[in-house]
Amino acid sequence: MQCIMKRLLLLFLLTPLVALSQNNFEKHFTENSLRIDFELAGNADEEFAILQSMKQEPHWGGNQQALIPKYNMGDYRITIKNLDEEILYSKGFNSLFREWQTISEAQKINRSFHHAIQLPYPRDSVIVSINSRQKDGKFQTLLKWEVNPKDYLITQDKTPHYPIDTLSYAGNSSDYLDLVFIAEAYTKDELTKFQKDVQRFKQWIFSVAPFTKYKNNVNIYAILAPSQDSGPDVPGDSIYQNTLLNASFYTFNSPRYLTIRDTKKMYDIAAQVPYDHVYVIVNTEIYGGAGFYNTYTSCASDCRNAEEIASHELCHGLIGLADEYYTNGDEINYYYNLDIEPWEPNITTLIDFSKKWKHLVNKDIPIPTPRIPKYEDELGAFEGGAYQSKGIYSPMQDCKMKTNNTNELCPACQEAVHKIMQTYINN
């Protein structure tokens, strides 16, 4: 009884807060979205954000009660402030550009990578900024400009009209996670296969704990968009196909790195439905995928271990988890600064382990934890992770963010999934 009273009291206390944040949304934003297309460009030492276009799109799938993220995640951040410099909305994200900056080509030339982000559509003039996380973990502004929502140069081009298959509907897009799956490299005759593939992916993803707990809290749409050719580009085998989103293996010469070249078209198609995250299923038996935090996820439809990769890549794209794998000796000089904690929830430099999963570790487990059979099934902090064998520690000796030998997430990754999923759900 006392417990019920407490709950009622809590409900009473929470209700005005929810109403307040709802009012805050309605005060500042409409139900549409402001789509910003921009390039992240530069080389190994310099980066720029270049505005391409602004457009009004019909839906904004985000959580109207969580306009400012609870967790400080992402290599980049887009922010809306009012003219009094108060933050109204903010969102972290990752870019392929940041990875490209670490390869040798970036020492020689400038390149640019397209992005598009939907913001809630402002009612009044606002300041939008694109910010980049620096080596010290702090953000630097790359581009800042004023947006007048009544500007007629903000286009209102119609969205495409591909058929939409609704696989799950939990409720209002603001109160649930909205996932949109898009077909890539499926011909018109193969779209029935795509519909079956999406069912398979849905089943695979929501059978991995703790996504299992959220399967009734997700709206899932599939957009049946045909390509002229079947199967994506495989440049290493001189295969170049005419497909809708121009998906390609061999990104940065990595055979299995399957990315989307025409991201502009991808977001045009996604705009048909309210979405939080875009997931592209690429029709191929070749092993591969990719996931960029709050940008998009891609995965091969029929390769070996497709079941394991389907959720692994979504953990990058939606949850912001890092890879826990690394190679001994053959190091990738990645961008982790070992003097600070990386923002990804499942890796640590042990600089401030209490901010990570320390609270989940048994008191008798040594930190760092030796990679020996004694600690095979224990949570600890094992050296090696995020492509580096030294200085970065990961939570377990194996996890689905490390290998396909297991289809389970370690407790640190599971906690991160809970935290992020709850930011999408109001109930």
Cα–Cα dist 125/122, whole Å? 7
CB neighbour list of residue 291: distance below 8 Å, 6 or more residues apart: 297, 298, 312, 313, 314, 315, 316, 317, 318
Tokens linked to 240: 């170049």
Site string for Zn ion, 367-406 (x = CB under 5 A): --------------------------------x-x-----
CB neighbour list of residue 61: distance below 8 Å, 6 or more residues apart: 118, 173, 174, 178, 273, 274, 275, 276
CB 36 within 8 A of CB 51: yes
- Name beta bridge partners: 129: 79, 144
Q: Give residues 326-355 in contact with Zn ion (rule: CB under 5 A).
A: 346
Please, what is the minimum distance in Å from the beta carbon of residue 347 to Zn ion? Answer: 9
Strands 177-184 and 277-282 come out as parallel
Please, what is the minimum distance in Å from the beta carbon of residue 402 to Zn ion? Answer: 7
CB 377 within 8 A of CB 334: no
Quick one: 290 or 410, whose CB is closer to Zn ion? 410
Quick one: 267 or 357, whose CB is closer to Zn ion? 357
Quick one: 223 or 322, whose CB is closer to Zn ion? 322
Please, what is the minimum distance in Å from the beta carbon of residue 82 to Zn ion? Answer: 39
- Name beta bridge partners: 113: 40
Among 282, 286, 410, 420, binds Zn ion (CB under 5 A): 410
Please, what is the minimum distance in Å from the beta carbon of residue 282 to Zn ion? Answer: 25
Strands 382-385 and 289-292 come out as unpaired
Please give the order of strands across the beta sheet that includes 139-147. Answer: 87-93, 76-82, 126-133, 139-147
Quick one: 54 or 413, whose CB is closer to Zn ion? 413
By CB under 5 A, tell whether 281 contacts Zn ion.
no
Q: Which residue is nearest to Zn ion (CB)?
A: 399
Q: Which of 70, 284, 69 is nearest to 194 (CA)?
A: 284
Quick one: 55 or 316, whose CB is closer to Zn ion? 316
Among 306, 413, 417, 421, binds Zn ion (CB under 5 A): 413
Please, what is the minimum distance in Å from the beta carbon of residue 382 to Zn ion? Answer: 11
Please, what is the minimum distance in Å from the beta carbon of residue 413 to Zn ion? Answer: 3
Q: Which amino acid is at 308?
A: E
Please, what is the minimum distance in Å from the beta carbon of residue 177 to Zn ion? Answer: 20
Cα–Cα dist 356/249, whole Å? 34
If binding means CB under 5 A, how many residues of this protein chain bind Zn ion? 5
Tokens linked to 257: 């790195």
By CB under 5 A, tell whether 170 contacts Zn ion.
no
By CB under 5 A, tell whether 298 contacts Zn ion.
no
Quick one: 144 or 355, whose CB is closer to Zn ion? 355
CB 142 within 8 A of CB 131: yes
Phi, psi at 397, each rounded to 5°: -70, -25
By CB under 5 A, tell whether 426 contacts Zn ion.
no
Tokens linked to 65: 């009660």
Q: Which residue has the tokens 């209490």?
A: 354
Please, what is the minimum distance in Å from the beta carbon of residue 384 to Zn ion? Answer: 13
Please, what is the minimum distance in Å from the beta carbon of residue 400 to Zn ion? Answer: 7
Quick one: 170 or 413, whose CB is closer to Zn ion? 413
Assign 318 to helix, strand or coil.
Answer: helix
Please, what is the minimum distance in Å from the beta carbon of residue 202 to Zn ion? Answer: 22
Q: Which amino acid is at 298?
A: S
Quick one: 248 or 397, whose CB is closer to Zn ion? 397
Q: Give residues 103-162 in contact with Zn ion (rule: CB under 5 A).
A: none
Q: Give residues 220-259 in contact with Zn ion (rule: CB under 5 A).
A: none
CA 116 centroid distance within chain = 13
Residues that bind Zn ion in the complex, under the rule CB under 5 A: 346, 399, 401, 410, 413
